[in-house]
Amino acid sequence: MERILSSPKKTRLHGDVLRILFLHMDPILPLPRLKMLSVLYHVLGAIPSYQGSVGPALNELCLGLQSEEVAPALSGVYVKDLHVRLACLNAAKCIPAISSRSVPQDVEIATSIWIALHDPEKSVAEVAEDLWDRYDCEFGTDYSGLFRAVSHVNYNVRVVASDALVAVLDEYPDTLQESLATLFSLYIRDSGVGDDMIDSGWFGRQVIAMALHAAADVLRTKDLPVVMTFLISRALADTNVDVRGRMINVGIMIIDKHGKDNVSLLFPIFENYLNKKASDEEKYDLVREGVVIFTGALAKHLSKDDPKVHAVVEKLLEVINSPSEAV
């Protein structure tokens, strides 16, 4: 039955198998409820037209789940299809522990609902808000689930997870430095994925750039040199054009948000790199281009008679021939 329902193509057998599954939801002849939930999430994603019959079945299944089964029941939150995420969250409201507001504090449960709470689809976020009220616990400072979601196979999950991470960092600013270190580690890990011909870790690095871009608002003064040093030492030399472009935009966003009050802090970092000799000419050119752009962005905050303005314009003119929109 699972093989038929897991087929990406709808066949005449699908309806028969679903009817058999619904019969087995009877407590006299039970199948593992979590297994059935997983299969039904897949069916709903593959065949949206079954929503009318699968939705009530999910609700029925969730009525029989115990509190320790809440976390795996929320796996539908990580699906790319909107109607599956919505059906999962609506069904979760039927779980006795959730409906009675007696869910124990659990990092997996908190992570899944928190991610759904930041879903760009308003309908999903509204149901998630109701679930979060019923969960009635603080998120806490364990972000392990969010960091796993940042590397999720589905693009929509990676994007939402980066926004959800920034939202929780805003609530717990003391965890920002450690979280930045984790993001840098994930970037380094994904830099070593693949071989010389195929860079299979680029999408992981892409979402690190998204997370850093979203985090620009919550950075403190002491975080600025740390992030800028990471960008200059690693990210601006990324082998993937999209990732490198996003990392340049991270730096520009940070400078736009914090540059005015931190000119004297940031200028020496950029000048130090531009004044040093290149050990790897190709890598140096890529990074230098990004650093010149940062310097130009920061120069907007200088006074008109500052002698640095003329030097910055000269450096920008030197790289203006590069095929870069940011330049």
CA distances from 294 to 206, 302, 315 (A): 20, 13, 11
> What pLDDT, in 10s, does the model give residues 68-79?
999 999 999 999
Q: Are 231 and 287 in contact (CB under 8 A)?
A: no
Residues 118-138 have a mean pLDDT of 96
Q: Tell me the average pLDDT across 63-88.
A: 95
Please compute the mean of the pLDDT values over residues 44-56 and round it to a whole number.
Answer: 86
Query: pLDDT tens for residues 214-230?
Result: 999 999 999 999 999 99
Q: Can you spell out the DSSP letters for 252-321?
A: HHHHHHHGGG-HHHHHHHHHHHHTSPPSSHHHHHHHHHHHHHHHHHHHTTS-TT-HHHHHHHHHHHHHTT
- Give me the residue label for tokens 């931190």: 262
Q: What is the pTM of this model?
A: 0.85
User: Residue 194, by phi and psi: left (phi above 0), alpha (psi -120 to 50) or beta?
Assistant: left
Sign, CA dihedral 280-282-283-288, equals positive
Mean pLDDT of 289-295: 92
Query: Which pair of structure tokens corresponds to residue 299?
Result: 């120069």
Average pLDDT over residues 170-199: 88
* pLDDT for the residue numbered 28: 41
CA distance 85 to 87: 6
d(C-alpha 287, C-alpha 297), whole Å: 15
The band of 5, judged by pLDDT with boundaries at 50, 70 and 90, is: low
Lowest mean pLDDT among 20-24, 74-78, 204-208: 20-24
pLDDT-based confidence at 101, cuts 50/70/90? very high
